[in-house]
Amino acid sequence: MNGGTRRIWARLVDMAIYYVNKNSQSDGVHEVHKGNCNYLPHPENRFYLGDFTSCHIAIIEALKYFSSVDGCYWCSRECHTR
């Protein structure tokens, strides 16, 4: 897929870039954010997970790196469980 096709496809399927915070919250949970979130951690504190069509896939990916993860309340509320 070239860049243009990829961009159109990404819009069609509502794809987003996801990151996980390398630093845990006070409760030990690593939060997963979309790339456009206002609460996205600083570049040195976040780990790029990939482009996904839903935060649920991003959560599964994040679980490969951290045992306790959750969606951000602000950008991934459908994955926010606590």
Binding of residue 30 to Zn ion (CB under 5 A): no
CA 15 centroid distance within chain: 11
SS3 8: helix
Give the C-alpha separation, 59 to 19, whole Å: 10
Binding of residue 17 to Zn ion (CB under 5 A): no
Task: State the residue for tokens 């959560």.
Answer: 59
Binding of residue 37 to Zn ion (CB under 5 A): yes
Query: At closest approach, how far in Å is the CB of 80 from Zn ion?
Result: 9
Nearest CB to Zn ion, comparing residues 8 and 60? 60
Residues that bind Zn ion (CB under 5 A): 33, 37, 39, 72, 74-75
